[in-house]
Amino acid sequence: MRNIKLTIEYDGTNYSGWQIQENGPSIQAELEKALLLITKENCKVAGSGRTDAGVHARGQVASFMTNSRIPEDRFAYAMNSVLPQDIVIKDSREVDSGFHARYSAVGKKYSYILLNSRFPSPLLRHYAYHITYCEKLDIESMRQAAACFIGPHDFYGFMSAGSKVTDTVRTIYDIQIAKEADQVKLVFRGNGFLYNMVRIMTGTLLDAGIGKIQAAAMPGIIASKDRRRAGSTAPAHGLYLDEVYY
């Protein structure tokens, strides 16, 4: 059998998340339906991670096994011809049989988009988290707080309830925060992220941006492993999975 790797971009607005669920449409289900149409096989698609409802992706990665003889680069064209317009295969290629989209990954890059303006934007309502103008963000304070996340830490306090993960140590390589006009973009790179970890980190950095949390308190908040001391979980619609590293 052949092992095919897909790089996928999608708008998560209309989906209940990556994973197949009974309560709504999912990205995984749409991909598997498309593969059934073009290969006549029930291909099981494995993703690099399970993005939540409303989360978007610029570089989600998936893999599947198939007996189909479709040329590797043509899977993208064939699947795009039957997928909904809010899911696009950006690249398809054959990889070694040992490759697995999830278990072969060594890191990920996420970004989070904030709209810091007096009024919300109807055009960005599904793609950026609106922070009211009265909460003018202190970008430098956010950067100082973000620096405390860099390196290996036990991020137990930055994980939502319901995760079955037992090893909660992750290494953050880099966090960049940039402001352009009324948009603020946070970019996170690390060897892995816990359930809702990026959204909780974002909520915590927002607290630093409005003066609710001081950067000097961040090491203690991380070390406490107490979810109550971190910030709120930022909404899903501002989050993007940008890239998966292998």
Among candidate residues 10, 2, 3, the one with its CA nearest the CA of residue 90: 10
- Known catalytic membership, residue 11: no
Catalytic residue among 11, 52, 73, 174: 52
Helix (H, G, I), strand (E, B) or coil at 142: helix
Q: Residue 228, Cα to own-chain centre: how many angstroms? A: 23
Strand partners, 173: none
- Asked whether the beta carbons of 236 and 52 are under 8 A apart, the reply is yes
Q: Residue 233, Cα to own-chain centre: how many angstroms? A: 14
Structure tokens at 217: 């308190």
Helix (H, G, I), strand (E, B) or coil at 200: helix
Distance CA 42, CA 32 (A): 7
Q: What DSSP designation does 127 have? A: T
Other CB atoms within 10 A of residue 98 CB: 8
In our burial notation (b when 16+ CB lie closer than 10 A, e otherwise), range 52-64 reads bbbbbbbbbbbbb
In our burial notation (b when 16+ CB lie closer than 10 A, e otherwise), range 224-233 reads ebeeeebbeb
Which residue stretches of 40-96 are H helix?
74-80
**Active-site amino acid positions:** 52
